[in-house]
Structure 1
């Protein structure tokens, strides 16, 4: 088997295991995730039977994807393709994850250009990621939405950058956090984000402590506390709509 291990590439750490590493390390180039290795992709690879899902957070981290798939015994390869995306930006989810971090979520941003990863998932892999995002649960954090190319342009670096007809993305049901002016704030590294939130929100400190380390330790796997933190974002009027709600079906 060609390619290199995730450990060798610095891509092995899963934010599910180390919350402050969120969103985790992303690959430097497109590749095929096979177990604990990344193999090269080329322009002739096809993804028949798979659907394109944009990764805006830890789903672009091979270590996180490997962790999610291993939980269900899934070992099939996952193509991860760099793409130029126009009309979307990466914000901060208005909820506290049971994994112990505050995750990323997309928001509508006409004219904005970002380099993101497309994960091409088969039905079994898609079901795993849907479950991890709470799509089928009435109390889950995300809905999966189809973004048509007329509104969000996705140009994979393979296949000569030809735009896709559309792509799926996970949209937070509670919106995204704003920057104080009702404008969605962009997601930064987890330590900086949690530091800013704790400094600016006294009630958040009461629940989760005064440091990012305390936040992660208290939030992790504490369903009741995470729910309280999520409600606090709404009560403090820290959340706004992502602008992508109309794509949810």
Structure 2
């Protein structure tokens, strides 16, 4: 897995909002700036950081020989916080996208590359829906929702330092962080290792529900805007919706007062419901 742009993972939904939620990593990896390194956990490993990082070039080219190296050694060589100083944070929506992480963690005046280990994780009873609000870039973002049944749902997990978590908090004004724990939410990493607890961000506005189908499963921006544009009140608020989802998104991106009107209307029309995670 080389540069994220070359493998289609470099788009940031904050910059190209119609692409929301962006493309998540397909497997466990280590994001070092725009370079995504494959990560594999050996059989019998006791912890996630027993994983091996495959050096295939990029920023590690001059630090290690080609081949696999222990995660702690790689983090140490990069001069960043080790595994014990990182907290698991479930990424619902664009935070699972390397392009969005680079957008959030790379300041224009800094040259330091963000370093984020990313794991695939499976959690029964926890799915992604749409939050009942419109984000500043104009998309209707994802939010976690509790669902019935034992079927595990696949998500991405970020291993963040305290400083990285502070940055993420600042980018999520419409969400509240919470900690979920086993056995209520028995998360399991793709490697088979159990995860005792993790942090996730719950929407302050609830999740989107359509009367005929219930809570709307997370989908594309085109699909959710198409469903909203079938509602009379939404067409009145957003005449652009008669043209296309892109026109609605662009109009909402430009006007905060219209985003707030849509958010309030979702509540008034009973399309915003509790996510069941309180």
Q: TM-score, normalised by structure 2?
A: 0.80
Question: Which among 101, 104, 107 is matched to residue 65 of structure 1?
Answer: 101
Cα distance in 1 for partners of 2:7, 2:207 equals 32
Question: Which among 18, 21, 24 is matched to residue 20 of structure 1?
Answer: 18
Structure 1: gaps (5+ residues): 135-140
Structure 2: gaps (5+ residues): 42-49, 51-70, 73-82
2:149 maps to 1:107: no
Larger radius of gyration between Structure 1 and Structure 2: 2
Q: 1:181: how far off?
A: 5.2
Q: Could you say which residue in structure 2 is the equivalent of 1:41?
A: 39
2:247 maps to 1:214: yes
CA contact (8 A) 1:32 1:78 kept: yes
Greater shift, 63-72 or 32-41, is seen at: 63-72
Q: Deviations over 1:135-189 (max 9, x none)?
A: xxxxxx110110111111211123xx12111111110011101131583221111
2:228 maps to 1:197: yes
Q: 1:71: how far off?
A: 3.6
Root-mean-square deviation (CA), in Å?
A: 1.6
2:127 maps to 1:127: no
Q: Could you say which residue in structure 2 is the equivalent of 1:55?
A: 91
Q: 1:221: how far off?
A: 4.6
Q: 1:203: how far off?
A: 2.2
Question: Which among 204, 214, 220 is matched to residue 183 of structure 1?
Answer: 214
Cα distance in 2 for partners of 1:143, 1:181 equals 29
Q: Structure 1's 241 and 182: CA in aligned 2 closer, same or farther, altered over 3 A? A: farther
Q: Could you say which residue in structure 1 is the equivalent of 2:195?
A: 164
Cα distance in 2 for partners of 1:239, 1:122 equals 33
2:274 maps to 1:241: yes
